[in-house]
Structure 1
Amino acid sequence: MLIALLLCAVHAPAWTREAPAPGCLDARRMSEARQADARTLAILQDDGAAFRLDLADACPDVIATDGRANLLAREGWVCTGAPAFVADSARRCAVTAVAPIDARAYAALARASHGDDGVTTLDAVTVKGERAHGFAGSPAYCVDPRWMRGWSEDPTGLLIEVSPKRAHGHRFYRIELGSSCPELANAVTVALHSGMGVGVVCGNAGDTVEVIPDAPGGGAPALFRGGLASRVQCQVAAVYPVDG
């Protein structure tokens, strides 16, 4: 028997469920859905596990129509090789494959859902807790500059420490840069800016890290040649939570 699960009304069971096979998605624990393109979905469980779903045919807007998208799967388990569908009031779109993905891959698919390919997406659906006031993106792939507590640089980019209370339990976020940003070596501090004016940084077009450099020889930010030290904008390519 196939069980229909409404994205907007799913609640995690109080008991532990055992997956019928490795790599299966527990649709009863779904907390967020994004549609990267007409045949690709990204699903996030309430425990942070992320999955990619591939559809057999193009089904644009299947998780957005009337806000009533469903997953149809036996006992709520979506597994590769087992019958499963994403459905709305008019269509059943067969799932051909499901695979676990990491936070970086989920963030990339979520960013793709913002593209101008004619595919709209369902707003992030959170099962546990309330959506933070004024937050226009998901903590699964965005960070609010107001949450930042500290930062450090490494060869991959930046590691940002945030308030876990504001970021659904996440303490650290990786920020990958679109190109080399050597000015970080002399930075006194950095600031995050949203290119879309939504207040959060997700790796969307125009999202930047502003580097505020040190004065020559160290010390506080100073005047260079009679003017304020130059501030550099480095493009953000990706944002995603990481384990501390």
Structure 2
Amino acid sequence: MTYSYAPAVLAATLGLAFAASAQAQERVPPAPHCMDAVGVQEVEQASPRSIALRAASGQAYRIDFSEDCPGVRSATTLKLDAPAGWACGRPSERVVVDGRSCAVSAVTPVEDRDYASVARESDRLLTATLPALTISERKEVRRGFGGSPSYCFAIRNVRSWSSDQQGLLVETNPRRNGGNRYYRVDLGSHCRQLDRTPEVSFTSGMQNGLICGNPGDRIVAAEFEQGDLRRDELAPLPQYTRQSCTIQAVYPASSQASN
């Protein structure tokens, strides 16, 4: 039997009895690469042949289609049909976009960095294709998966930062960033300035106060003040601390990475 999963209307689609049963029993995937279709949080699309999703567990996945399936982000109704609620890339699986069926050919777990890349491109494409609208009354409510700016953080909400071999780890206010407390920031190259600066600031390439890895997003290292002994130690590199570093990607960091 095939169930149709739409997270926003899960109770209405499956019934309260099934929802209670699913919570009471531990769900075991039929294969390690399979995605739990119950409680999908986000969906992004940068190519008509695939979409990227974030499962309720926080793991990101890519779903490939047998043929082009455009318009996922702009759809009013979006559903994932998968046997027993597991998407594994089997012939019986499909994504239904406003009543249009798209056959699934593969399901693959992906890294957060790859998901962030798809999310950025998905957002750019959606912004570029949406017509200018004047909304006087909201008549429709989107039913199904939704997009999310979880690959960005607001500059004003940054609490602290630290650098390591992987790049930069930024702590934000989780109440202001979709529940995400830590973000991993990938830089264009090793930013040696971060080892030599008392503080940093962020510059948004889009001039919207958000850091997403968009073109022009940068981190700027501040200089030590006059009289600070550490400034004298950096005398051979007087201008190095004034340089900035390019930000390539931003994505929520796992709890392990933030510890």
Q: Which among 76, 80, 83 is matched to residue 71 of structure 1? A: 80
Give the match's secondary structure for 1:113.
Answer: helix
Amino acid at match of 2:39: R
Report what 1:100 is aligned to.
109
Relative to structure 1, is the Cα distance of residues 49 and 120 closer, same or farther in structure 2, using a 3 angstrom cutoff? farther
Counterpart CA distance in 1 for 2:128 and 2:55 is 22
Give the match's secondary structure for 2:29.
Answer: coil
Q: Which among 251, 256, 259 is matched to residue 240 of structure 1? A: 251
Report what 1:6 is aligned to.
6
Q: What displacement does 1:199 show? A: 2.7
- Answer 1 or 2: which has greater helix percent: 2
Relative to structure 1, is the Cα distance of residues 44 and 181 closer, same or farther in structure 2, using a 3 angstrom cutoff? same
Structure 1 unaligned regions, length at least 5? 127-136
Amino acid at match of 1:114: D
Q: What displacement does 1:8 show? A: 3.8
Alpha-carbon displacement from aligned partner over 1:126-165 (angstroms, at most 9, x marks no partner): 8xxxxxxxxxx522x2222222221112233211122334
User: Which is higher, the Rg of structure 1 or of structure 2?
Assistant: 2
Query: Are the counterparts in 2 of residues 10 and 30 from structure 1 also a CA contact under 8 Å?
Result: no
Q: What displacement does 1:186 show? A: 2.4
Counterpart CA distance in 1 for 2:127 and 2:178 is 30
Relative to structure 1, is the Cα distance of residues 174 and 22 closer, same or farther in structure 2, using a 3 angstrom cutoff? same
Q: Which among 170, 174, 179 is matched to residue 160 of structure 1? A: 170
Counterpart CA distance in 2 for 1:118 and 1:172 is 26
Report what 1:129 is aligned to.
none
Q: Which among 173, 193, 203 is matched to residue 203 of structure 2? A: 193
Alignment of 1:117-136 (within 5 A): 125=146
Counterpart CA distance in 2 for 1:54 and 1:106 is 14
Counterpart CA distance in 2 for 1:112 and 1:212 is 31
Q: Which among 163, 174, 180 is matched to residue 170 of structure 1? A: 180
**Alpha-carbon RMSD:** 3.4
Counterpart CA distance in 2 for 1:119 and 1:80 is 31
Alpha-carbon displacement from aligned partner over 1:105-134 (angstroms, at most 9, x marks no partner): 2112212213459996999838xxxxxxxx
Relative to structure 1, is the Cα distance of residues 52 and 120 closer, same or farther in structure 2, using a 3 angstrom cutoff? farther
Report what 2:222 is aligned to.
212
Amino acid at match of 1:234: C
Matched, 1:145 2:155: yes
Q: What displacement does 1:216 show? A: 6.9
- Answer 1 or 2: which has greater strand percent: 1
Q: Using the aligned pairs only, state the percent identity.
A: 35
Structure 2 unaligned regions, length at least 5? 131-141
Give the match's secondary structure for 2:170.
Answer: strand
Q: Which among 51, 67, 84 is matched to residue 57 of structure 1? A: 67
Give the match's secondary structure for 1:170.
Answer: coil
Counterpart CA distance in 1 for 2:229 and 2:74 is 53
Amino acid at match of 2:183: Y
Q: Which among 209, 212, 215 is matched to residue 202 of structure 1? A: 212
Q: What displacement does 1:205 show? A: 1.6
Query: Are the counterparts in 2 of residues 37 and 119 from structure 1 also a CA contact under 8 Å?
Result: no
Counterpart CA distance in 1 for 2:171 and 2:73 is 33
Amino acid at match of 2:205: G
Give the match's secondary structure for 1:86.
Answer: strand
Alignment of 1:86-97 (within 5 A): 86-97=95-106
Q: What displacement does 1:208 show? A: 1.5
Matched, 1:85 2:82: no
Relative to structure 1, is the Cα distance of residues 124 and 68 closer, same or farther in structure 2, using a 3 angstrom cutoff? closer
Counterpart CA distance in 2 for 1:216 and 1:124 is 53
Query: Are the counterparts in 2 of residues 54 and 98 from structure 1 also a CA contact under 8 Å?
Result: yes
